[in-house]
Homo-oligomer: A and B are copies of this chain.
Amino acid sequence: MKSIYLDNNRATKIDPQVVKVMETLYNDNFGELHALHFAGAKSRKIYNEALEKVYASIHANDKDTITFTSGAAEANATILYSTYLNYILTGRKNSIIVGEREPESIMQMVDFLRSQGVRVHTIPVNGDGVIEHERIYDYITPRTALVSVSMVDGESGAINPIEQIAQACSKYEVAFHTDATHAIGKIPIDMQDIDISYLSFSSETLHAPAGCGVLYLKEGCDLLPLIRGNRSQAEALRGGPLNLTGIASLGKAVELASDALDFEMQDTKDLRDELEEKLTQIEGVQSLVPWALRSPNTLLLAVEGVESEAMLYELNRDGIAAYSNTVYPYGEWDRKALPSAMGLDKKLDHSTIGFALSRFNTQEEIEKVVESFTNAVEYLREFMPKDQK
């Protein structure tokens, strides 16, 4: 049975062209970045090439700072610790505003900061699953230390109104952070268009190996480093030896993602749309975020009368990898489930199923998924307790 992988917002297959880049690093010595010998020089060349590709991929200004991290989680932690230690603990600012469905690396950090006495305000999503940007004005003041709202929700694909949020932050001169992990390669990102102080993203959604990420810092903004050590990156925002394999991979991956952006926004989207159209024809199956407000690769469904976990098992039996954030095996899930956050029946909270496509998916795969999903809904509803039918 050929497997079908539709969990691409959490981990992706490494692109063969990224593999080729990695392979160039295997048969030789690549030294520490600033080492005064041939092996250091080779690393500097690779590092600089990757860095240029990242600058190009988000249209960053030469004077902005781009630092490679171990992923968006580290970049996000850097921003939040810096905000806490440099602005809040010193009394210069007094609070943080975050979206209610930020990634766990944000939600768990703000939970921790709350436990340290930091005031954290949370902005809800509206009936479309998108952050209600007007609500920023309920909380924002010149004493706000940071607003953090991600560009795209990795579970639902909802595209947040970043421009309006950035405007509110500019007006009050408040730092604005956006996690772009689920936006890069899916929708255009242009740092010249929007006033963003900090941007972060990760390699694992980009057909590169997980374990590398980017922390962007706009010219004129500041940050304390989180991980210190030998300053392998010129800008000194992150110590520790350079993850050259990860950096070279990520450089190639953002280049490929930029090249594939039209494909992602048209061909991948066409496949996703077909999947959406066919699955939502099933009674009691609804797509949670309107088509026009959603990233082109993502489809999050609520399926009446079906438990997410059971559906994942049924699909897996047919070799299909989908996802549901309701079935995570740890109990500290802090984000609100989307259906009830949107004002839908709370019963649907445990009935979400997500499909995140990539440029490697095919028409044939989508047809197979439609068939399996349709059968699974019918099969699983037979086992429902009568009072839930």
Chain A residues packing against B (C-beta within 8 Å): 3, 5, 7, 10-14, 16, 19, 22, 25-26, 28-32, 34-40, 43, 69-74, 76-77, 81, 85, 103-105, 108-109, 112, 116, 202, 204, 209-212, 224, 226-231, 236, 239-246, 309, 312-313, 315-316, 319-324, 327-330, 332
Contacts and interface: CB of A to CB of B under 8 A. Distances in A.
B209 A245 contact: yes
Contacts of A328: 34, 230
B323 A35 contact: yes
A312 B37 contact: yes
A209 B244 contact: yes
A19 B26 contact: yes
A29 B38 CA distance: 36
A73 B227 contact: yes
What DSSP secondary structure best describes chain A's contact surface?
loop
Contacts of A73: 227-229, 239-241
A31 B3 contact: no
A77 B244 contact: no
B19 A321 contact: no
Nearest to A29: B5
14 contacts: A3-B29, A7-B29, A13-B29, A34-B329, A36-B327, A38-B319, A76-B229, A104-B228, A105-B228, A105-B230, A202-B240, A209-B245, A210-B241, A226-B226
A241 B11 contact: yes
Contact of A5 (B19, B34, B39, B224): B39
The 9 closest A-B pairs by CB, nearest first: A211-B243, A73-B240, A70-B70, A105-B229, A108-B228, A37-B321, A73-B229, A10-B32, A209-B245
A35 B321 contact: yes
A150 to B, nearest CB: 13
A31 B241 CA distance: 27
Given A11-B29, A70-B211, A241-B11, A315 B37 contact: yes
A79 to B, nearest CB: 12
